Amino acid sequence: QVRLQESGPGLVKPSQTLSLTCTVSGGSVSTGTYYWGWVRQPAGKGLEYIGRIYTSGINNYNPSLKSRVTVSLDTSKNHFSLKVDSVTAADTAVYYCARVDYSDSNAFDIWGQGTMVTISS
């Protein structure tokens, strides 16, 4: 059973970099027909796609966030990461990591529980 778990600071100062990690257990981030993605949800708002990375290392990002976002893979630690630069209060949200099996559903089928990140001084 593959499980995902987000981790990282719950509070980040404005203009700094938000960094989160998603640890994968029960499976490998470097094999299979998967990509690994990030989705966020500000309080009272809907889901917003942030970006993803394939096991090959190829990325795809939400155009509205592309200039500030990096998703990377660390196969040695079996996790993938998210960095958002120059954060503002608008980046305050619950951040989810999730998996897509693109040989099957092509949708986000496994999700982490989510981690709340607040941007405040």
Partner 1 sequence: DIVMTQSPDSLAVSPGERATINCKSSQSLLYDSNNKNYLAWYQKKPGQPPKLLMYWASTRQSGVPDRFSGGGSATDFTLTISSLQAEDVAVYYCQQYYSSVTFGQGTTVEIK
Which residues are near partner 1 by CB under 8 A? 37, 39, 41, 46-49, 52, 60, 62-63, 96, 98, 100, 105-109, 111-114
**Least distance to partner 1 from the beta carbon of 98, Å?**
8
**Least distance to partner 1 from the beta carbon of 106, Å?**
5
Query: Which amino acid type is present at position 87?
Result: V
- Whichever of 87 and 98 has its CB closer to partner 1, that residue is 98
- Whichever of 11 and 107 has its CB closer to partner 1, that residue is 107
Q: Which two tokens stand for residue 19?
A: 């960094």
Helix (H, G, I), strand (E, B) or coil at 89: helix
**Least distance to partner 1 from the beta carbon of 40, Å?**
11
DSSP symbol at 64: T
Gyration radius of the chain's alpha carbons = 14
CA 45, distance to chain mean position in Å, is 18
